[in-house]
């Protein structure tokens, strides 16, 4: 099976390729379908995921539901971890701490920037994800603990 980074790089060359890639990732982990993500950037150290504000992700206040933002953050952080750890490493999320900073009243962009993380180490690695609205205001922040194990070749 092709790894996520190679798949993204192949798909992004096609018309609508990032949308096709986003659908493929959502098919592999179907719960992500609930937010209809659009993954626009994937590289070691950086992943960017967009989500439209629509009725299906709103709460009773007509803002984006907290769990939709958690879902978006987990997608961005998980994909970042997957493309950043050494080949053959295994990982699993083991915790997530979130902060709801402001009401999410618009479409959102989740950015997981792992450029300062030492991906060569094993154990718990905290992966940050910032979710911003269309004005660039951070409305949500997650720190996702990923447990990383290196396999012996």
**How far is residue 137's CA from residue 21's CA, in Å, rounded to a whole number?**
27
Residue 36 has what pLDDT?
Answer: 96
Kindly state the average pLDDT of the residues 3-10: 94
Grade residue 153 by pLDDT with cuts at 50, 70 and 90.
Answer: low
**How far is residue 124's CA from residue 56's CA, in Å, rounded to a whole number?**
33
Note the pLDDT tens digit of each residue in 72-89.
999 999 999 999 999 989
Give the chain's domains with CATH numbers. 4-149 (3.10.129.10)
**How far is residue 125's CA from residue 53's CA, in Å, rounded to a whole number?**
30
pTM confidence score? 0.94
Note the pLDDT tens digit of each residue in 97-114.
999 999 999 999 999 999
């Amino acid at each position: 099976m092709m790894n996520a980074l190679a798949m993204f790089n192949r798909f992004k060359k096609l018309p609508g390729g990032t949308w096709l890639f986003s659908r493929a990732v959502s098919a592999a982990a179907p719960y992500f379908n609930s937010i209809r993500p659009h993954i626009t950037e994937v590289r070691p150290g950086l992943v960017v995921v967009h989500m439209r504000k629509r009725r299906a992700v709103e709460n009773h206040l007509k803002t984006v539901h907290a769990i939709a933002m958690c879902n978006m953050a987990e997608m961005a952080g998980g994909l970042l971890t997957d493309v950043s750890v050494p080949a053959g490493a295994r990982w699993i999320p083991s915790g997530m701490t979130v902060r709801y900073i402001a009401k999410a009243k618009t479409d959102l962009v989740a950015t997981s920037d792992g450029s300062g993380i030492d991906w060569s180490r094993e154990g718990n690695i905290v992966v940050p994800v910032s979710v911003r609205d269309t004005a660039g205001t951070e409305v949500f922040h997650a720190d996702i603990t990923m447990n990383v194990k290196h396999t012996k070749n």
